[in-house]
Structure 1
C-alpha cells in the first residue's frame, strides 16, 4: 500500500509527554504524537522506519509485535521500528486514515511509502523489510565486520582483531565477529582463545557450517604445529621419495603455513604412488583439508581437480 503525504497541525505538537525508548535499543521504540516528527519523519531520512499502530485490546497486535521486533532487530540497523498506541495517540492514525489494526506503515525520506495490515507471518514481514531495505547501505556493525574480514584476508591480524572486538563490544552474540576473532586466534596459533570464543557461540547458531569448518581448520593447525621442520621433512623426501610419512607430515606443515596448493600436491603424490598407504590416509586427509577450507576455496577446487585426474586417469 502507498500512503498519502501528510503534515502535522500545530495543535498536535504538545499532545502528550515524550515516550521512553523500548527495551532492545534504538532499533525498536515507542513514540507519541509529540515525538512522531523526530522519531519517524526525521529518522526516516537516514534509514527506513516502520510504524506499528497498535492497541492493548488488540489480539492480532500482540501476535505481530514479537515477530516484527525480531525481524527488525535481525536487520541490524538497516531499518527501525516505532510503535504507536492509537488509544493514547490517535491523531497520526486518524491523519493516515487507519481504521484497522495492527497496521504497519513504512516511511522513507519523511514520506509513507508502503505498508501492510494484520498479523502476517514472519516470512512475509521479512520479505517486506528486505524489499524496503534493498540497496541500503550496510549498518555500522556490518561495516566493522567487513573491515575485519578484509584485514584478516590480508593477514593483518592486529587490525582484524580490533574490528571484531569492536563489534563484540556492541553485539556480544554477533556470530560473524565471534568467528572472525576465533579465526584470528587460530591463525596466530592461540588455540585456547579460539576454543573459548567458539564456546560463546549462541545455541541457536551452534549448527552454522562455518563453525565446523573453523574447528576443522583449528584441529589441522594444532596437528601441524607439532610436526618437524619443513626443511628437514623435504630433505627426508629427497633421500627417499617413498617416505610417505615424511611427505604426509610435510603436507600438514604446509597447510598449517597456509601453503594450501603445495599441501595438496604432496598428498596427491602419496596417493599416486600408493593409494593404500595408511589405510587410504592421503585421500582422507585431502577430504579433511577440503572440509577445513570450505567448498568454494580455490585450493579445495584445485585439490578436487587434481584428485579427479588421478582417480580417473
Structure 2
C-alpha cells in the first residue's frame, strides 16, 4: 500500500454500536495504563479499545484459530508492536468468538488488519504480508496518527496485582524447528519437521494441526486467486483446479465456500473417483475444528452423499 488514510474505510466499517460512551471533546485523554501492549479484544471490551485509540493508534488483528496465514502474520505484528514500547496497542480479535466485531469490520477474509486513530478506522492490509512491508505500514501509521494528534504512549504496568501466569514450557525440538522454518517461509522444511514429530508420536495433536496448516500454506503459496477461479470454472471436474480454489477460499476465511465447492465436486464425481475429495474435505475439517458449526453442517452433507 502507498498511503493510508482514515477516509479510506469511511462507510465500510461501523463501530458505533461498540462504543461504551462517546469520546470526550477538547483535551487529549491521559495515557491509559495497560498490563500489556498486546490484548485480546472482545465484543464486550471493544469500547475500551476505542477510547485508548484517542491516545495511541490501535492495531486490530482479526484472526481465527483455523486460519493458517493468520499464524504467519500475527507473530510479526506482535513483535513490531512490542518493539514500539507503548506507542501502539495491538488488539487481537478472534472473529469466531466475536461475531459482532467481525460484522462491524465487515471482515470478508482474514487475516485482516485495521488500525484505529481516535476511534476512526484506518486500513492496513489483508492477508499475510512480509515483515518488511508490515514495518513500513506501521511507520506510516504512526505518521498519520501524529498528523491527527494521536501520538501518546501507554504506561505499561507490571501487573503485580494480578495472579502470576505460568511460564509456557519450551516447544519440543521438532516443533521449534517447524516454527523457525515457517517464519522464513520454508514450508517444505516445516512439513518435514512435523512429519518427523508424528513419526515419533502419531498422537501428537499439535503436530497434526501444525502439519495441516503448513500444508495449506504450502499449497496456496504463489497461487493467484483470479487465475485459479478461471481455471476451476473452465474445468469443473478437474480435482487440482477445484482443490486450488477450495484451499484459497479456506486460507482467505471463506470456509463455507471452500466446503461447498468440494461437496459439490464430490456429488458430481463417479463413486470410484471420490476418495481424494473426501480426504481433502476431512483434512480441511481438521483445520477448522470438529466443533465448528460449519464443519458439522458440511460433515452432515458429506454423510448424506456417502450413504
Q: What TM-score, normalized by structure 1, do the two folds share?
A: 0.38
Larger Rg: 1
The structure with the greater share of residues assigned to helix is 1
Higher relative contact order (CA 8 A, sep 6+): 2
